[in-house]
Amino acid sequence: MKIIIATHNIGKLQEMNFLFTEFIPKNYNINLVSLNKYPDIPEVIEDGDSFQANAEKKALFTANYTGEMVIADDSGLVVDALNGEPGIFSSRYSGENATDEQNIEKLLENLKDIPEELRTAHFACVISIATPNNIIGSFKGICNGIIGTKPQGDNGFGYDPLFIRTDIGKTFAELPHDVKNRISHRARAFEKAASLIEKNIKLIEKI
């Protein structure tokens, strides 16, 4: 069966694929499809005031447009010394269509006078599940760390090269994919969502 992942972000899609193999039994034969397979779908304006509001808006709109079961993720980096910025604006921190590199540069500039002990932050992720006209559930996960003073590592996406897990002493971008994907905010949210996702797969597949 087909499940739509309501994202254009390839990094998120790869992590979702990993999380499905970790948390959903393999016998369902699921094909995860991103919005890149729907080039004509209108863009969802992410004007909610929380990760949950934006995740639910993306999930419901996409379910209504495609007629399929949808999983949407709204996520971002919450930096304590910046009063929670960039937060829900993480993907467009340095402007619309900003690249990861530009966002990283802006974050480093805004934190340049902040000492290490005050560079605490967390990643947050809300995963919402929807079918046409129906939000089935939303689940939040967070992951704590600190913001480094220069980008390190080539794995992952977004702010991964700056986000240091203090217990491991490495950025997310320096960790192998499977290690990040077991401890991340997205993994924590998916873990909570998994049984409801499975229940709906069974309902749709009439298993």
Residues of this chain that bind ligand ITT (CB under 6 A)? 7-9, 12, 46, 73-77, 90-91, 103, 123, 156-160, 172, 184, 186
Provide the minimum distance between the beta carbon of 14 and ligand ITT in the complex, in angstroms, as a whole number: 11
Provide the minimum distance between the beta carbon of 3 and ligand ITT in the complex, in angstroms, as a whole number: 15
CB closer to ligand ITT, 73 vs 174 = 73
CB closer to ligand ITT, 13 vs 30 = 13
Active site residue 74: yes
Catalytic residue among 47, 49, 73, 74: 74
Angle at 97 between CA 96 and CA 100, to 5 degrees: 115
CB closer to ligand ITT, 46 vs 198 = 46
Provide the minimum distance between the beta carbon of 207 and ligand ITT in the complex, in angstroms, as a whole number: 29
CA distances to 2, 65, 84 from 31, rounded to whole Å, are 5, 18, 36
Residue nearest to ligand ITT (CB): 158
Provide the minimum distance between the beta carbon of 115 and ligand ITT in the complex, in angstroms, as a whole number: 23
CB closer to ligand ITT, 9 vs 52 = 9
Alpha-carbon gap, residue 148 to 162, rounded angstroms: 5
- By annotation, the residues acting in catalysis are 74
